[in-house]
Chain A
Amino acid sequence: MRKDSRMTRRQLLRIAGGVGVSAAGVAALAACGEAEPQIVTKEVPVEKIVVKEVPVETVVTKTEIKEVPVQTVVTQTEIKEVPVERIVTQEKVVTKEVPVERVVTREVVKEVVKEVPAMREKVKVRWQEVWADAFQPTIEEKMIPGFEAQFPYIEIVNERIEEAQMYEIYLTQIAGGDPPDVIQIQESRVPQFAVRGGIIPLDAFIGKAGLNLSEIFYAGEWPKGSWLGVQYALPLDNTGAWYLFWWNKDTFEEVGLDPDTPPTTWTELEEMALKTTVREGGEITRHGMFVPEMIKGARTDASFKGWQFPAGGHMFTEDAKQVLFDDAIGLRNVTWQLDMVEKLNDGWDNIQGYMDAVGASRTAFYNDLLTMRVEGVWFLGVMRRDAPDINAGVTHMPYDDTNPNAKPRSISDDGWSYGMPKGAQNLEEGWEWLRYLTADQGNLDFMGNLKRPSSVPKFNEDPLYQTEPLWNDLKSVLPLVEASPITPVNPDIDQLLKDEMELMMAGKQSPEETLASMAGQTRELLDEFFDSL
């Protein structure tokens, strides 16, 4: 017994030692983290922007019903009926469900603020974005210093996150109550966040700063950051140019086409694509064009939307409540795409392999295995770096010449913007940085370095862009862009468009079925959403 207990004590000591060591390890690691600055908290009256949800009206309907019953008076000789008027007031209270309106006011409230005693400590603005890769010294060298020179009390903390995981990270941080102050967000996702209160309305800030959005940004750009008239995000890039037509001039010359005359109509596109196609022993060794390959990878939803506008069609009504693509133009769009795959590529099997996530179609274009393709404006910078020797041209997408109403135009229903997530700590300072990034010098620094058109027209005239020989061709496409409404169910609609288009391309359903199915499902999603409001 004694022996046993002694042994146990020794074991206990040993276990304790182990725990001590591990605790030391943990402490050492913790020390590597950030030391929390000494901050005194105080209650101070602060002017603050308050977002209130105010139910706008309750409707009370009063219905008065006059009832005239008959009173029977019985006298000796005769029975007289004397009508007596009785008024029954039936009060029916009809409470009309009125959408809650966000009222943004500025109020003086008492708030616990971090007050830094002696020397004024800088406010750290946490900025999360997905683009700043290792090759962009612009952020450290120009943007942040440029901003901090204007606002010496603000320190910008750049937290790069991964594009593929961006919404996981945003949602996780918002749920954990630890969101950054400024986030990069796709405009196709802004309504989705806005309708759930996940992103802060900017109207009050915009009003205070006296920004006139329609003067600063392209007309097709800034409304995409809004939902129901409230601005939630400011645009970073000119996204109108997500659908641009690129062609290889050398190949055009080689087959006897004018290298500087790209196809402008669907008929010309077909002709030129057939002319540049090379077949050897029944196999295609060079493709003219992959009509359903858009932007990059297997985005067949983009191919439907992308060709719908040059076909002369629309996606939705202005208020996004009605589907408009369910018509002859939509049918023409899908039928034509299917036809082209058969005619130009001998079937979907031959091009499906290029619709992948690693960019096989780009590689094919660089290696003269593909002559023409559609990709967004970022392709300019990418191409210059990946294949500096390629002699390519850029123009708008060809339009459907069989439709008299069709003209060169393209859809814009996505893009990149900056907003402030729910729960952001430093709204005022965050807003300054957001404004600098989108409406000010920061936008030019960032976009100019990437050679991507800015959301601000005047920046696109900057000499920074003029080094690029194709710049003016590219800029001429920007005015052809039309915004298409974005709804909070946008991601689901994209997914179903993609699935249905893929089914059609694989021969599992006819164009008519495809269009009907797409329209039906989209309507269902939209109706379900608008009913839930």
Chain B
Amino acid sequence: MIATILWLGLVVFGGRSIGEQATPFGVTSGELLWTVVIAGNWVLDISGVAWMLSPRIPRWGGPRLQRRLAAVIRYELMIGISVLALIPIFWMVSTSLKTLPETYEVEPYLLLPREPQWGNYPFLFTFERFNVLQLFKNTSLMTVVNLVANVGIAAFVGYGFARLRFPGRNLLFMLVLSSLMVPFIVRIIPLFVLFSGNTYILQDQLGQVFSWTIFFESRSWAQNTYLPLVVPEFFGAAGSSALYIFIMRQYFLTIPHELIEAGRVDGASEFAIWRRIVLPQATPAMVAVAILSLQGSWGAFIEPLIFLRKVDLHTLSIWLSSFRSVQGESAIQWQYGMAGGVLVTLPVFILFLLFQRYFIAGISLSGIKG
């Protein structure tokens, strides 16, 4: 897979001509590169993994050498796969440094800007229509509050569904999942009605089905505030809350029951068992939920678009969408859109780098020996 990188480098700097040279073997250099370097590399990778996994293939050298070899193969795979993962990222960063006409150059393909336009980034902060710093503030506030709500609620409710037996538990859990099963584009209409509090409209239309939502009659509480985007998260009723509850439930199910039984024998209440015994065990799952919640609220697009209509309440995703238009009649300024994309992606990337250490607590556990 290292070869993949070499080849990409050749393409980036050598352009199309790299593949078009004649070779003594009667094929073009491109085909030769492909077969020999790339395919050969894959064969090596696969045999390397097989060697690591299968005890039948004879070993040589001491355990130290074997560990080193295993590490080399692992690195090789990790680097190769990251090339695949990073192609769109590379494209995003490269485009963000181009001029607009350069973004349209395909003949020959312009993979890197002729001269990096670093000015594209500061330009994003000069719009009068959008105060980018304000947007960052809005989005982070919403993200943080949602994160706390999601992790807390999912860990609490998930434990109830995982380790406490009560009548109707499985049925109720199916109900939890059921909220994931109605497409958002259909749910949004009744949801908006619910939050805008104009239930009389629905009472007209649907008789009494909705009359109980009379609680929300005070119209202003959900108008142009973050409440519709935040409050359901505190009750496990937001778009993906059910997913987080499910994740926590599945994780709690893997915690040894001896631990919980021991707590019960000691006379601790269920709450204490949850707080003292179960939660500390569940850190990886909670971090996973935190990361997913972070990613979800940071990138939320359609809900903020519908509930927050004032420009200074907007979130970053809405701002980003103002650089493109699906019908394409108005402006698409790729370079700014992509620069915005880089700016928006970067904080989550850094947070992920900080968070992810919780995933490597005990390393000797992994299936492949490292």
Contact = CB atoms under 8 A, between A and B. Distances in A.
Are chains A and B touching in the complex at the 8 Å CB cutoff?
A: yes
B72 to A, nearest CB: 40
Interface string A337-370: 0000000000000000000011100110011110
B100 A22 contact: no
A468 interface: no
Nearest to A25: B145
Given A134-B336, A172-B188, A389-B101, A29 B323 contact: no
Given A26-B230, A177-B201, A33 B331 contact: no
Contact of B100 (A128, A131, A133, A385): A385
A163 B331 contact: no
Interface string B302-320: 1001100111010000110
Contacts of A387: 101, 104
A386 interface: yes
A359 B185 contact: no
Nearest to B317: A162
B154 interface: no
Interface string A119-133: 000000010101111
B322 to A, nearest CB: 5
B333 A135 contact: yes
Contacts of A366: 101, 104
Given A363-B104, A376-B329, A165 B305 contact: yes
Nearest to B144: A25
A506 interface: no
B226 A22 contact: no
A3 B267 CA distance: 9
B104 A178 contact: no
B305 A32 contact: no
Interface string A435-451: 00000000000000010
A211 to B, nearest CB: 27
A475 to B, nearest CB: 19
B303 to A, nearest CB: 11
Contacts of A389: 101
Interface string B106-150: 110000000000000000000111100000001001100100110
A363 B106 contact: yes
Contacts of A175: 189, 192-193, 201
Contacts of A385: 100, 331, 333
Nearest to A388: B101
Nearest to B105: A367
A33 B226 contact: yes
Contact of B226 (A32, A128, A369): A32
B196 interface: yes
A176 interface: yes
Contacts of B145: 25-26, 29
A33 B225 contact: yes
Contacts of B231: 26
Secondary structure at chain B's binding surface: helix, strand, loop or mixed?
A: helix
Contacts of A157: 310
Given A30-B221, A169-B306, A22 B328 contact: no
A306 B225 CA distance: 45
A296 B107 contact: no
B271 A29 contact: no
Given A367-B105, A386-B101, A387-B101, A30 B227 contact: yes
B328 A359 contact: yes
Contacts of B225: 29-30, 32-34
A176 B311 contact: no
Contacts of A297: 328
Given A134-B130, A369-B107, A158 B311 contact: yes
Contacts of A171: 189
A527 interface: no
B188 A382 contact: no
A521 interface: no
Given A29-B225, A134-B127, A296-B327, A22 B188 contact: no
Interface residues of A, number: 67
B226 A29 contact: yes
Given A22-B149, A171-B189, A160 B322 contact: yes
A162 B323 contact: no
Contacts of A159: 309-311
Contacts of A4: 267, 269
Contacts of B327: 163-164, 296
A161 B309 CA distance: 8
A37 B226 CA distance: 18
B325 interface: yes
Contact of B306 (A30, A137, A172, A180): A172
A140 interface: yes
B220 A36 contact: yes
Given A29-B141, A135-B333, A176 B192 contact: yes
B198 interface: yes
A34 B310 CA distance: 9
Nearest to B329: A378
Given A26-B230, A385-B331, A176 B310 contact: no
A168 interface: yes
A140 B311 CA distance: 12
Nearest to B218: A36
Interface in B53-88: none
Interface string B210-251: 000000000011011111001100100000000000000000
Contacts of A362: 104, 328
A385 B127 CA distance: 18
Contacts of B141: 29, 32
A8 interface: yes
B131 to A, nearest CB: 11
**Listed residue (B138, B185, B311, B330) with the most chain A CB atoms within 10 angstroms of its CB:** B330
Contacts of A139: 129
Contacts of A388: 101
A161 B336 CA distance: 19
A295 to B, nearest CB: 8
A296 B330 CA distance: 12
B227 A168 contact: no
Interface in A410-464: 450
A11 B189 contact: no
A7 B226 contact: no
A389 B100 CA distance: 12
Contact of A137 (B129, B198, B331): B129
Interface of A: 3-4, 7-8, 11, 14, 18, 22, 25-26, 29-30, 32-34, 36, 126, 128, 130-137, 139-140, 157-165, 168-169, 171-173, 175-178, 180, 296-297, 357-359, 362-363, 366-369, 376, 378, 382, 385-389, 450
10 contacts: A25-B148, A34-B310, A130-B325, A131-B329, A172-B306, A178-B192, A357-B328, A376-B329, A382-B328, A387-B101
Q: Give me the 5 closest cross-chain CB pairs, A-B, nearest first.
A: A33-B225, A177-B198, A176-B196, A367-B107, A164-B326
